[in-house]
Structure 1
């Protein structure tokens, strides 16, 4: 097991800024600058490339620790890490199509996701965005992308859209656009209940062109065995799970502190840490949280070690994401009950964690989609 990359004093500074970013609804530029100095953009790149040489399991541990200090910062940088993790997962499997992502990440480029679309519950399996092919192999994209984390800072945006005009159409076309390109705009519309510092603004693609050398996949709509789909899914689900596990870690820590700090007049001034109901709540939260680490770590190592779970891979991945996000909500809820009414204050860190943890239910795969995936894996498709 590797030593944590982020020193304790940096973690403390990142935690100290989180409330201000949330209050002011601004991007955590200072956090990002500190992470860049530590080589965070190149976590997945090999040491030969100038990166940190971590696998998915190691990056998940780093993200869990970062999220315990600043959930929104961790969730924002997650999107860059997903793309670099995808590049590594493909390379590990003999696919060099995204090798440039790792090189550019080490050089300081910041990658973000422009995949989510309003009304598209098929996620990666289809797209509402139009992809128009040009004779030189480049593509122009027209559509609306939502939840584009890292909006103020990304330099490379991964997008995909549907090509219905090529001879082999329909095809889903995946490409990267450059921030310096024309033909898109970012709306200033991110003012949310939680995860505010991610600054995940809507991005409107208005014919922005990706050069031919940045068009890296064309896949038929629908379920696909293409390694890109697996790599995106694996990195996204495991790293999201790690972020929400980190929120739960901090919530439990705050609950323990509150139990020792609060005293009961009814019991003659004894701390609430001696109250059997409070002890039960803290223990219940800890028992639930203890189950997450081995699951996240084991699946991350399986990706790193090229373990073949066959058709069970997707059900395992949606399972760990749902368990992590739902467990985190339970742990935060118990922590609030232990802490009492002070958690209602706008200045309460636990109150902020409560708002942040709610976002977990909206990340793909949501609860309904996850259950459908697992059911299909075990029972097969629904028959008429």
Structure 2
């Protein structure tokens, strides 16, 4: 099944999408988690779209999930961004399973049973991201690990059941290891109520404090050397994370373009007596937005397809993935900026949906890979490493 033949309404029906859209403004205004959205998405089976059918899911691939996330983001970007983080882990489980590694089977069966998985990788000041961690991972006698540290931007903070994270095990100073594991929500986990942001407010991506919370041995899934690493879990996280992030911001752009088109078709100029859609300057700007947007869904589909197909892009994989996310965010911000201009002064009011999209799209620049990292990855591929 390709994105061209895939029917997203089977998994995200129009009526469900419109109910989610109808709640988005109030969720943003109240700065709360969209619990009704999550409940309805749960009921529809959306949180198990990437789980294989033999484990209780729908058996979709990353290519189809990307289409669905674009569609969900067009209704409620913050809801889509928060759900992204659960889908990342179910996607990583699929990527690894497709490559013969079934270490995350419990994520698949857990998601099918209704559990919510959150993503605990980001740390303040840690620009190594997947290649390092300031969180301490202390080995336990039974094979588990105790984690102590602080994670930021933990989407789904009020509702998750399991937090997938990484930490650094320095018990052997000569051979440190990055440990990937899943911890439960216990008294050793403190979720700060500190999510008061400009946009993406419904994601409730709060700060998470870890105070020796233990991941049991059967939830410790990978131990790898710090630094750039081709390990399947690193590739799995990076590929699914970047593709689904690109999808959310591309969905925002599509909604902004649709709103801009509807607005200029309805607004009438007193000077010309015609709608603004007949104004040559506005027509040029709409066309420019459409040209910018049009490339991204196809790029997302191609790269997601290659992840699903276990294609070998060799050293270019990280360039392709970081570039995809970077281009999607830059494009989306450009489209939303221009949508505000063509819609006119009414878009400046908070009651206007475009004003929320304008705030939401700004978050894209802060997600990995940031512009500096994307450009560094591209330069390293094309020019080689910087000489010492």
Relative to the length of structure 2, the TM-score reads: 0.97
Note if 1:32 corresponds to 2:20.
no
Match of 2:365 in 1: 361
- 2:253 maps to which of 224, 248, 252: 248
Offset of residue 245 of structure 1: 0.4
The C-alpha deviation readout for 1:332-356, integer Å capped at 9, x for no partner, is 0111110011011010100000000
For 2:64 and 2:183, locate their aligned partners in 1 and report how far apart those are by CA, in whole Å. Answer: 29
Note if 1:116 corresponds to 2:133.
no
Q: Look up the SS of the partner of 1:263 in the other structure.
A: coil
- 2:337 maps to which of 333, 337, 352: 333
For 1:229 and 1:128, locate their aligned partners in 2 and report how far apart those are by CA, in whole Å. Answer: 17
Q: Answer yes or no: is the 8 Å Cα contact 1:237–1:318 preserved in 2.
A: yes
361 and 167 in structure 1: CA distance in 2 versus 1, 3 angstrom threshold: closer
For 1:205 and 1:357, locate their aligned partners in 2 and report how far apart those are by CA, in whole Å. Answer: 30
For 2:176 and 2:52, locate their aligned partners in 1 and report how far apart those are by CA, in whole Å. Answer: 36
Paired residues for 1:145-156 under 5 Å: 145-156=151-162
Match of 2:215 in 1: 210
Offset of residue 166 of structure 1: 3.4
For 2:172 and 2:104, locate their aligned partners in 1 and report how far apart those are by CA, in whole Å. Answer: 24
Q: Answer yes or no: is the 8 Å Cα contact 1:133–1:166 preserved in 2.
A: no
Paired residues for 1:195-344 under 5 Å: 195-267=200-272, 269-344=273-348
Offset of residue 167 of structure 1: 7.2
When structure 1 is superposed on structure 2, of 80-89 and 127-136 the one drifting more is 127-136
Note if 1:161 corresponds to 2:167.
yes
Offset of residue 138 of structure 1: 1.0
Match of 1:17 in 2: 23
Q: Look up the SS of the partner of 2:340 in the other structure.
A: helix
When structure 1 is superposed on structure 2, of 12-21 and 164-173 the one drifting more is 164-173
For 1:182 and 1:266, locate their aligned partners in 2 and report how far apart those are by CA, in whole Å. Answer: 66
Aligned alpha-carbon RMSD (Å): 0.9
Q: Look up the SS of the partner of 1:291 in the other structure.
A: helix
Q: Answer yes or no: is the 8 Å Cα contact 1:325–1:361 preserved in 2.
A: yes
Q: Answer yes or no: is the 8 Å Cα contact 1:14–1:69 preserved in 2.
A: yes
Note if 1:379 corresponds to 2:387.
no
Offset of residue 169 of structure 1: 3.0
For 2:230 and 2:266, locate their aligned partners in 1 and report how far apart those are by CA, in whole Å. Answer: 54
Match of 1:94 in 2: 100
Match of 2:349 in 1: 345
The C-alpha deviation readout for 1:119-177, integer Å capped at 9, x for no partner, is 00000100011111111111111111000000010000011111111376311111100
Give ranges in structure 1 of 5+ residues lacking alignment.
none
Q: Look up the SS of the partner of 2:102 in the other structure.
A: coil
Aligned length: 382
Match of 2:150 in 1: 144
